[in-house]
Amino acid sequence: MRTDVEIRVAGAEDWPLIWPFFSQIVEAGQTYAYPEGLTETTGRSIWMEEPPGRTVVAVRGDTVLGSAKMGPNRDGRGAHIGTASFMIDPTYAGQGIGRALGAYIVEACRADGYHGIQFNAVVETNTAAVHLWSSLGFEILATVPEAFDHRHHGLVGLHLMYRKL
Amino acid sequence: MRTDVEIRVAGAEDWPLIWPFFSQIVEAGQTYAYPEGLTETTGRSIWMEEPPGRTVVAVRGDTVLGSAKMGPNRDGRGAHIGTASFMIDPTYAGQGIGRALGAYIVEACRADGYHGIQFNAVVETNTAAVHLWSSLGFEILATVPEAFDHRHHGLVGLHLMYRKL
């Protein structure tokens, strides 16, 4: 990754810079099972986490290149396992931003005391993501068959991926 | 199951009769990763589903013996897989009410056009539930290790269970 990229906690002022690529990625229908016809308000409520979760951005100067969010995967007696989601602006794909955000989130979850990190729904055809998470120590625990309706490939599986911390 | 038990869609008037055993089961800390210190209002928002989901009750006369809720497991491109949750009043355990609710929900999900049903978090020490779902055609796709903090057993696994429809 270029060394002029910084990862920091996102503030409300970052959301308008996240929404354009966030909405583009959801609309593409290849990676996220978010509601259809998502409005900017709903998108913000999905993406901008409240404590104990948080949302971060990868920035270069004033440009937001990608974002990630993290928090407990479940409430109450399941809250010691974390989860996270990632959105990289396709304009900046292939620059190592997903990897930098992934590594940051793993360390942030460790620092927050989570025992492990669970990704609930990694689309099996999103091989770049599957390879990235595998390289960061995640393993596929299961694949729910045909659980995602991919815009181009039709029904494909969703991986549950997990990494112990 | 005794033949005088009926399963029907729950209305708002049923919630006050669900809440006592719902809160007892959550408080027992053995089966559900719901928020700590759950209020009745939060409980209702968790349990009483809005369309396209719905909540049902198993009743004998005016007595609510158990309840189940169902709906899409994910939004958007994942909404063709259903999910469900079950609460049986411990007073009426062992009377086949869980099985009757489970069979009802499987058929209701089939009628609603879901392609499959996914249970995201079946506590592995809840062997009665694991056996029941297995007998209704569900299989364990994965067990997330130590993902549930059981009040008596400490950290135990959560099964992801799935049944194709």
| B143 → chain A, closest CA residue | A141
Determine phi and psi for A52, rounding to 5 degrees. -80, 0
Distances (CA, A) of B89 to B33, B59, B158: 18, 11, 22
Beta carbons of B158 and B127 less than 8 angstroms apart:
no
Cβ of B36 within 8 Å of Cβ of A76? The answer is: yes
Res A62 pLDDT > 90: yes
Q: What is the mean pLDDT of chain A?
A: 96
Cβ of B144 within 8 Å of Cβ of A150? The answer is: no
Best of B26, B34, B39, B77 to substitute, by most chain A Cβ atoms within 10 angstroms, is B77
Q: Cα angle at B72 between A117 and B141, to 5 degrees?
A: 50
Q: What pLDDT score was predicted for residue A2? A: 59
pLDDT digits (tens, 9 = 90+) for B84-108: 999 999 999 999 999 999 999 999 9
Give chain A positions within 8 Å (CB) of B77: 29, 32-33, 148-151
Cβ of A116 within 8 Å of Cβ of B142? The answer is: no
Considering only CA atoms, which of A121, A85, A160 is closest in space to residue B145? A160
Average pLDDT over residues B135-143: 98
pLDDT digits (tens, 9 = 90+) for A110-138: 999 999 999 999 999 999 999 999 999 99
Q: What pLDDT score was predicted for residue B4? A: 84
Average pLDDT over residues A84-103: 96
Average pLDDT over residues B136-162: 98
Res B122 pLDDT > 60: yes
| A139 → chain B, closest CA residue | B144
Range in A35-39, B40-44, B88-92 with the lowest mean pLDDT: A35-39
Q: ipTM of this model? A: 0.94
Beta carbons of B85 and B98 less than 8 angstroms apart:
no
Give chain B positions within 8 Å (CB) of A81: 144, 147
Cβ of A147 within 8 Å of Cβ of B33? The answer is: no
Determine phi and psi for B57, rounding to 5 degrees. -130, 150
Cβ of A77 within 8 Å of Cβ of B150? The answer is: yes
- Confidence band for B36, pLDDT divided at 50, 70 and 90: confident
pLDDT digits (tens, 9 = 90+) for B16-34: 999 999 999 999 999 999 9
Average pLDDT over residues B71-76: 97
Residue type for B146, please?
E
Range in A32-41, A74-83, A112-121, B61-70 with the lowest mean pLDDT: A32-41
Res A104 pLDDT > 90: yes
| Distance between CA atoms of residues B8 and B56, nearest Å | 5
